[in-house]
Amino acid sequence: MYRDVLGAQVSQPEPQEEHGVYTVFVEMPGEGAKVELIHPLGDASPIANFLDRNPSGGIHHICFEVDAIDAAMADVRAKGIRTLSEHSKIGAHGKPVVFLHPKDCGGILVELEEA
């Protein structure tokens, strides 16, 4: 759909063993944002629950870039936003990422990624 209908540049699927997903990176022509398609990999994929609740698929999370992940984590915590892990992890792009608690973000799973 992204390639054939919307004209996006779409990568080959890449297994991300440590994250339990396959990723496909989608670059829309002229858009400043990217779409990342994720598909479960393995028996304990962290997106299995999401697909149980949304068998047709859906929008799993949104991601914002930050300059420095540690400073961003300290900042959001100081403002009462919980992070889902104590420390950042290396995400699918090889950069540090952290997820914020959906209950603190209007029901939305928010990822921060170091730019």
Site residues for a copy of itself per CB under 8 A: 1, 4-6, 28, 30-33, 35, 37, 54-59, 62, 64-65, 75-76, 79, 81, 102-108
Q: Which is nearer to a copy of itself, 63 or 92 (CB)?
A: 63
State the nearest-atom distance from the C-beta of 17 to a copy of itself, in Å: 23
Q: Which is nearer to a copy of itself, 94 or 107 (CB)?
A: 107
Beta strands 96-100 and 21-27: pairing type? unpaired
State the nearest-atom distance from the C-beta of 34 to a copy of itself, in Å: 9
**E-assigned strands of 1-114?**
9-10, 14-16, 21-27, 34-40, 62-66, 89-90, 96-100, 110-114
State the nearest-atom distance from the C-beta of 104 to a copy of itself, in Å: 7
Q: Which is nearer to a copy of itself, 34 or 87 (CB)?
A: 34
Interacting residues of 98 by C-beta distance below 8 A, sequence separation 6+: 69, 72, 73, 83, 84, 85, 87, 88, 89, 111, 112
